[in-house]
Amino acid sequence: MAGATQWLVAGVLITLVSSASARDTYESDKLAYRVDTVAEGLEHPWSLAFLPDDTALVTEREGRLRRLVEGRLLPEPVTGLPELVVSGQGGLLDVRLHPDFQNNRLLFLSYAHRTRQGMTTRVARARLAGNALENVEVIFEALPRSNNGRHFAGRMEFDHNGNLYIAVGDRGEMDRAQDTGDDAGGVHRITINGAPAPGNPFVGKAGFNETFYTYGNRNIQGMTRHPSTGEIWSHEHGPRGGDEINILRAGNNYGWPLVTYGSDYSGLPISSRTTMEGISDPLHYWDPSIAPSGMAFYTGNLFPQWQGDLFVGALKLRKLVRLSLDGELAIEEEDLLTELNERIRDVRMGPDGALWLLTDARNGKVLRLVPAD
């Protein structure tokens, strides 16, 4: 195969196919790095998860779950997926492994689902057996449903206690994000059986769905756990401007649409306020919007200069953003991979110490960032 190189990663020989259409060596402010194309031909890949046997799972928004084995994308998708709908921004979205996946083989999928009442975000739990899902069970469904195809969100993350955080977008109906009896526009924290997680902030409170952990969130498409504090960090799309990075804290209202740094797509203002008493201010925001998707802290050894930095993919502005942090303060921002001109959908910290990316395209790719040396 032209342009192929090989790497030994965790004892597995992985064939990496260098992109023929783009220069594969780049300079950042701190180091030189190379971008290798691990796989291509994916239809709008959305999420990536690494299995303990050095293979990986990739979701395609078009409704397929694919396996990467020894650097090769298996042609046959995983069977047994739950019923889902591909419409607008919806389809098969995130995949998350249970923290004890090596022993229980459980994984979790978020996806769009349709009935006569409309569409919504669902989460299913399943057991991976070979190339098939078994014991598939729906454990979360955001209600009420609506008929538009926007803002499903769908990012998920586990905390140190094994509770699952699920982002649900406002579904393109902004006022729903402040309605605490409506599952849209917030983050829900549940057990792996779908019950409200112990200690949820609104358990027993009138007018609140008990699975809510935060609300006032527009459309979260990035979520990751801080490697030191264990807190869950997220980012969300603003409208025309006002993309935010937040730390998810119990009971917080993140303000959408009461406060925002963005304006409506029509150009008209949404709110005259960027801050308000009782509303959590963002740690960092972008104006104009970069359309963030995917997020990961760098914790590997391949790039010691990037240790502790936060990486965010961008769809609209087609780049990878590196944020250097001092605690909760972003002190440096650098744009990477602008030359690729690719919509970055997901960003993952790989077990091999590399940064792994997914590109959102009809011919989507799995990319791997490694040192240039």
Q: What is the DSSP string of 145-169?
A: -BS--------EEE-TTSPEEEEE-
The per-residue pLDDT for range 175-225, each reduced to its tens digit, is 999 999 999 999 999 999 999 999 999 999 999 999 999 999 999 999 999
Structure tokens at 21: 């259409």
The rounded distance, in Å, linking the Cα atoms of 180 and 202 is 9
Q: Would you say 251 and 204 are in contact if contact means Cβ atoms under 8 Å apart? A: no
Q: To 5 degrees, how large is the angle CA 313–CA 126–CA 248?
A: 40
For residue 217, the enclosing domain spans 4-371
Q: Is the pLDDT of residue 271 over 90?
A: yes
Chain centre distance of CA 102: 22
* pLDDT of amino acid 249: 98
Q: Is the pLDDT of residue 54 over 80?
A: yes
Q: Read off the pTM.
A: 0.93
The per-residue pLDDT for range 342-373, each reduced to its tens digit, is 999 999 999 999 999 999 999 999 999 999 98
Q: Which helix (H) or strand (E) holds 102?
A: helix 101-104
Q: Which helix (H) or strand (E) holds 217?
A: none
Annotation marks residue 151 as catalytic: yes
Place of tokens 């993350």: 157
Number of domains the chain is built from: 1
What's the chain's average pLDDT? 93
pLDDT band, residue 71 (cuts 50/70/90): confident
Place of tokens 């989507």: 364
Q: What is the CA radius of gyration of the chain?
A: 20
pLDDT band, residue 22 (cuts 50/70/90): very low
Closest CA to 49 of 113, 110, 121: 110
Place of tokens 């402040």: 178
Share of residues in the chain with pLDDT > 90 (%): 92
pLDDT band, residue 70 (cuts 50/70/90): confident
State the catalytic residue, choosing from 98, 151, 235, 237. 151
Closest CA to 333 of 271, 285, 369: 285
The per-residue pLDDT for range 107-133, each reduced to its tens digit, is 999 999 999 999 999 999 999 999 999
Closest CA to 25 of 339, 358, 356: 339
Q: What is the CATH number of the domain that holds 12?
A: 2.120.10.30
Q: To 5 degrees, how large is the angle CA 100–CA 251–CA 108?
A: 25
The per-residue pLDDT for range 308-342, each reduced to its tens digit, is 999 999 999 999 999 999 999 999 999 999 999 99
Neighbours of 338 (CB within 10 A): 13
